[in-house]
Amino acid sequence: MTIIFDDTGHANVAGYVKVFYFHNITREYVGWSDEFIPVGVSLPGNSTTVDPGYDQCGGLIAVFQNDEWKQAEDHRGTRVFAISNGQQAVVDYIGPIHSDFTTAVPGTPYDSWNGTEWVTDVKRKRTADIFEADNIKTELITKASSFIAPMKDALEGGYIDEADKLILEEWQKYRYALTKVDFSNAPHIIWPKEPA
């Protein structure tokens, strides 16, 4: 027997009906079943008798809105990048990718979005390369100084071994060479070789 519903959505006549389910939050189609509806009972929650009417494919899904199914883009799980700063995110919503994101991958941390593609800000990259080279230089000089200090104390105190005099001299020359490093080719810098 064909099921009949009253104006409030409750069955006047019991029977089986094909029911299409949707997610309670995203309202996307999640499946269907044949349900037996007794007299006085309505459809199960988050369901409708309206057929989505098409297969979900090609990045589109069925979403139940205003008592009808509509096609919506589904990019969930897609890696995107904020056009304001290149920060990576993952799409976790239904619908088109927000206009302030792109799927194009920035080539460097110094890229800016020009409206159609990422363009490397050469001046920013250059500044960062020089800053990093200066940090490396500082670390290397600090390391060299830690080798030099105890040997220099021994030299000034008159108790340094003859072999250590040569080592001290090598480390002092190395530290001096570090102060002369040219950053004009950063990040492609030829660093002085550390003494063995």
> According to the model, what pLDDT value does residue 63 have?
96
For residue 22, tell me if it sits in a domain: yes
Whether residue 184 is contained in a domain is answered as: no
Helix (H) or strand (E) holding 163: helix 162-179
159: containing domain: 122-179
Domain boundary among the residues 54, 70, 92 is at 54
Give the whole-angstrom CA distance, residue 97 versus residue 184.
42
Identify whether 61 is part of a domain: no
- Angle separating helix axes 162-179 and 122-157, nearest 10 degrees: 160
Domain match, 128 and 174 both: yes
Nearest to 43 by CA among 100, 1, 69, 4: 4
d(CA 155, CA 168): 9
SS3 (DSSP) at 141: helix
Q: Which residues of the chain have pLDDT under 50?
A: none
Specify the pLDDT at position 1. Answer: 66
Which residues does 32 contact at the CB level (< 8 Å), separation at least 6? 18, 19, 20, 21
The confidence score (pLDDT) of residue 58 equals 73
Separation of alpha carbons 20 and 74, rounded Å: 19
Q: Are residues 131 and 114 in the same domain?
A: no
Last residue of a domain, one of 90, 105, 120: 120
52 secondary structure, DSSP code: -
pLDDT at 149: 97
Asked whether residue 163 falls in the same domain as residue 142, the answer is: yes
Which residue carries 């530290």 as its tokens? 175
Task: For residue 36, tell me if it sits in a domain.
Answer: yes
The number of domains in the chain is 3
**Tokens encoding 178:** 């570090």
Whether 156 contacts 148, CB under 8 Å: no
116 with 127, same domain: the answer is no
Question: Per the domain annotation, does 138 fall within a domain?
Answer: yes
| Residues 44 and 25 grouped into a single domain | yes
Q: Would you say residue 19 lies in a domain?
A: yes
Q: Are residues 18 and 48 in the same domain?
A: yes
For 68-120, the pLDDT digits (tens) are 999 999 999 999 999 999 999 999 999 999 999 999 999 999 999 999 999 99
